[in-house]
Amino acid sequence: MGIPTESCRRTAAWRSGRAVVAAAGVALALSLPRGALANSANDLEKAHGAYVAHKYDEAETRLRALLGPGSPALKDPDGIADARMYLAAVLLAEGKKPEAEAVLDSLLLDKPEYQPDPLRVSLQATDALVDARARLHESLSRLQAERVRLAQEEKARAEAERQKAALHLQMLEKLAAEELVVERHSRWEALLPFGVGQFQNRQETAGWLFLSTESLLALGSVVGAAFMLYDEGQADDALKRHDTTASAYNVRAQAAAWVGDTFAAGFALVAVAGIVHAQMTFVPEHTEIRSRTLPAPSLSFWPWVAPAAGRERGAGATAGLHVRF
Cβ-proximal residues to 265 (8 Å cutoff; 6+ apart), any chain: none
Q: What is the CATH number of the domain that holds 120?
A: 1.25.40
One domain for residues 107 and 40: yes
Give the total residue count for the chain: 325
Cβ proximity of 260 and 178 under 8 Å: no
Residue 158: which pLDDT band, with cuts at 50, 70 and 90?
Answer: very high
| Domains held by the chain: number | 2
49 in the same domain as 130: yes
DSSP secondary structure letters along 238-276: HHHTT-TTHHHHHHHHHHHHHHHHHHHHHHHHHHHHHHH
16-40 pLDDT tens trace: 444 443 344 434 434 444 444 347 7
Q: What percent of the chain has pLDDT over 90?
A: 32
pLDDT at 203: 86
Q: Tell me the mean pLDDT in the region 54-68.
A: 90
Interatomic CA distance for residues 48 and 59, integer angstroms: 7
Position 37 scores a pLDDT of 37
Q: What is the pTM of this model?
A: 0.41
| 183 is a domain residue | no
Query: Per mean pLDDT, which range of 105-109, 218-222, 226-230, 307-311 is the poorest?
Result: 307-311
Q: Is 226's pLDDT higher than 80?
A: yes
pLDDT at 129 over 80: yes
236 vs 242: CA distance, rounded Å: 10
Residue 213 is part of which domain span?
189-291
Identify any residues that bridge with 180 across adjacent strands, giving them in sequence order: 289
Q: Residue 122: in which H helix or E strand, if any?
A: none
